[in-house]
Amino acid sequence: MTLIPAFGLGTFRLQDQVVIDSVRTGLELGYRAIDTAQIYGNEAEVGEAIASSGVRREDLFLTTKIWVDNYARDKLVSSLKESLAKLRTDYVDLTLIHWPAPGNGVSVDAFMAALADAKSQGLTRQIGISNFNIELTKQAIAAVGKDAIATNQIELSPYLQNRKLVEFLQNEGIHVTSYMTLAYGKVLGDPTIGAIAQRHQATPAQVALAWALQLGYSVIPSSTKRENLASNLLAQTLRLSDEDMALIAALERNGREVDPAGLAPQWD
């Protein structure tokens, strides 16, 4: 049984003092899961914020992601060791392959084996994937077994509900982590979500996050503002009705925000 916190703090696009402040504030407010990645260029700052927070390492759940340049068997483990040094820790709780990057010269078999090797060395407690479609997830399962894959972290919002992929993952017992749950803020102005928020005396962000949580996904929203960081946390106690959930289900529009050429797969 995978144990991934339902609520975490994302750090995508946050740099330098901005990310230090965001993580430090998040930890003060009670966040205990932090999500970063090698390509974000902020692992050292995340490590600094954690070190100065006074929160014990064993009380935290740290996720990082291996960048495409480091997928080769002779690079992956050493790159993760560099990440650990930046994060000022002996291990991370979860390490993901960031993008499948089909055609970059390293097979799914090879990078999943290297990731499993990192786990066997104790560098990471769990391993997983990010931005994988059904076919590539099947290849990852063939490489290491579905029980070894803790999560597939995918773009998922009321505007991009990814039902086919989600159904496959849930049938395989692979946890879904939703990133970009607010669709770069686009769903915050949605009238349907606004009306639901008003009914619950909640914010639109809380509604979108609560929707994902009620579907069983983990969420990792980011913010640089204390009031938003605090407000987002309250999504955990917001209970949406079946009618609310049905209204949000109807917002699907295949509204993908992130689709980098050369890194992304053929989406389902």
Q: Which residues are annotated as a binding site for substrate?
A: 98
Q: CA angle, 231 as apex, 19 and 40 as ends, to 5°?
A: 25
The residue annotated as part of the active site, out of 40, 71, 159, 179, is: 40
Say if residues 238 and 202 touch (Cβ distance below 8 Å).
Answer: yes
- CA distances, 143 to each of 13, 80, 147, 148 (Å): 32, 20, 11, 10
Catalytic, 40? Answer yes
Please give the order of strands across the beta sheet that includes 175-179.
Answer: 9-10, 33-35, 61-66, 92-97, 124-130, 149-155, 175-179, 218-219
**Which pair of tokens denotes residue 224?**
């640089």
Say if residues 70 and 97 touch (Cβ distance below 8 Å).
Answer: no
Largest CA distance in the chain: 55
3 state SS of 145? coil
Instruction: Report the b/e string of 193-213 with b at 16+ CB within 10 A.
Output: beebbeebebbbbbbbbbbbb
| Residues that are catalytic | 40
